[in-house]
Amino acid sequence: MNIHPIHTKADYRAALQRIDAIWDAKPKSPEADELEVLSLLVEEYEKKHITVPEVDPVSLLLHVMEARQLSRKDLEPYIGSRARVAEVLNRVRPLSLEMIRRLSAGLELPADLLIAGYELREVA
């Protein structure tokens, strides 16, 4: 096991490749120990060097709909009527706490991503 701190992108890529190679290591094996240590090092590097852009809840829902091939009708059990779904996706109406709860449970989405604030459009 040749583990050292991750200082560069090359170190980071090498650590990720090694993690991928030993991902299925048997518990309590030297490779499992190496995997645990490398994972911690990668996590620290990512905290310091990689920023994840914040995604507003509507953009998240649109992405999930596209990725899972869902229609607006598929969101009705979580958001409400067809009109209500349109209002939310068009950023006219904010998600309510109850909508967030239903979306989180029904679509298995992290609630903390759904509660973020976002700008609404003004209706003329």
Give me the torsion for CA of 83, 84, 87, 88, rounded to 10°. -150
**Residue 124 — very low, low, confident or very high, per pLDDT cuts 50/70/90?**
low
Query: Over the stretch 59-80, which tens digit does the pLDDT of each residue have?
Result: 999 999 999 999 999 999 999 9
| Cα–Cα distance for residue pair 116/124, rounded to 1 Å | 25
What average pLDDT score do residues 108-116 get? 92
What average pLDDT score do residues 28-56 get?
91
Share above pLDDT 90 across residues of the chain, in percent, rounded to a whole number? 85
Q: What is the mean pLDDT of residues 74-94?
A: 96
- Whether the model clears a pTM of 0.85, i.e. scores above it, the answer is no
